[in-house]
Structure 1
Amino acid sequence: MTGATAAHSHMPVSRFWSHLDSLESEAVHIIREVAGELENPVLLFSGGKDSIVMLHLALKAFAPAPVPFPLLHVDTGHNFPEVVAYRDRTVARYGLRLLVADVQDYIDRGVLRERPDGTRNPLQTVPLTEAIRQHRFDAVFGGARRDEEKARAKERVFSLRDEFSQWDPRRQRPELWQLYNGRHAPGEHVRIFPLSNWTELDVWQYVQRERIELPEIYFAHEREVFRRSAMWLTAGEWGGPTPSEPVGKRLVRYRTVGDMSCTGAVDSDARTVEQVITEIAATRLTERGATRADDKVSEAAMEDRKREGYF
């Protein structure tokens, strides 16, 4: 061993390159690629953990400059109050521009009709596609991950949508060596998924490492819930529960956040990020499989909605 080699071998190493570093680097590269290649991006931001991590990555990608595109929230009107409060705090904290597409507005104008089951998640497609068309967005960042659901598992990072915002799996393009093709015809746009290769556990480990604040409903708390379709749902103005569905207090948390009418809580006593990570590492049921009633309509429920323009 030479003197130079020996000296080098004793140099302190602050931190080894981890899988989280690789995922972060890939996501930041994707976000910067979109900003450089496409003209008018927007980032979908609901206040859920995946969109929070995606925004954190966007802030890192352009620091110290501001994020060069707005945020868009498709508001069902049945959101968890804690999540909406978090959304508004975050927008104010970073001086971001937030656009809101309101499902209730479309119902009031007679464009959409309330569903008998009270859920509004499937009603988000029209406000989303209208907002994209109105603002002429050509790139839409989403927080979907491939481990969530089989339709999302086969979608590319750059997902081409036609002039009606519809997804055709047969039109997907190869993405070799992290080379992404954002070409599209006038009226079309590209959905961008920087977290495609992340898992739920990766997201939580990244939240832990980066000390990212999340809405409190992601951690165990007492809540009034009732049982429907093998899930614990929150009582609310959306129409639940029925007289035959008793309401009781339980210690629960949410693994994913969506419309109150179709997002189920899970029994949990995990009150910290570390406890949530331990809980997720031991589970064998995906977060959407455990908590989303809108995915249980059929085996192809998510793919059918994505073909129509859904997230």
Structure 2
Amino acid sequence: MDELTLLRDWDADRTGPSEAARATARARLDAAMADEIGPVALRGVASRESTSRHGSLSRRLVFRTAFAGLAAAAVGVAVVVADGEGDGDGGRENENPRLRLSAVEVLRRAADRTRSLGSDLPVPRNDQYFYTRTRIMRTPVKGGKTRTWTDESWMSVDGSKPSRRQEHGKVHHDPPLGKHEVRWPPTVYSKLQKMPTDPDELLDRLRFGQEASAKADMHAFFEGCMLMMGPRVMPPGLQAAAFEALSKLERIRIDRDAVDVAGRSAVGVSYPKADWTFLFDPRTYDYLGLRTKGSVPKKVGKDEWVQTGWYWETRTLQEIQVVDRIGRHD
């Protein structure tokens, strides 16, 4: 089992991950944060779990973003080449003037594109399902055979029915959500409708109310990726608001020369050390998907894990529909 599977099974798992898995995830997140913002600023990480404002979400957020930092969950073959550790403007200029845009401009144009396209999907009823078909490609960092999957999933709109979810070709039969179960980001449409579509308010939500800082912004970028990743129909305005909210993060940067899983050229937007990259069409600014760097956790002792088999993974959402039952996709 890799971190992506662990991550996606987290919400459906009633008992949650083992303490060893939690410890490993937190240790990697701590190391990444220490490298990114320094050991002094990191002292505040542990306090999040006791912050009354966040309640039960804090532990879930720390765990999930830790695995996000480990890597895996959203989109990459083409081995996207990052432009060093530069700022949002990237460093290198390209002959194509569109690729000289800053990360801020790319996200803002993606937000405008989302608004102009709108959605031809109906507002889902609670008794329906979100159908998604996702193309996944995984390439070892050090070279080797590339693996591909086309996953199909049917997720209950309000969580009251069993769902069928596919990850890397493996089918998972998820039970209905419990009455007191908390998911973040939400998958239930009615809860997504309650999320703010004002970019400033949404950014505050993605930061979980923390003041702006490198640590809070990194977490906000993770949460923005998670919001965009799941098999869900976005309410009007939410996707555009997410791109605009993330455009306000000071350290976002351009990843150039990207290619998505369908072989199309793409321009990426990432955050330093985050291992997640949004991919956009460099001409239309359509959102194409996500790219991540991942690894496979291996247990080497009673409470000790190491990360092996590093890879790049890209995911492209090929189709999404609102359907009446599992098995339908039209």
- Higher percent of residues as helix: 1
TM-score calculated relative to the size of structure 1: 0.28
> Per chain length, whose mean CA-contact separation is higher, i.e. which structure has more relative contact order (CA < 8 Å, sep 6+)?
2
- Which has more radius of gyration? 1
User: So what's the TM-score if we normalise by structure 2?
Assistant: 0.27
Larger fraction in strand: 2
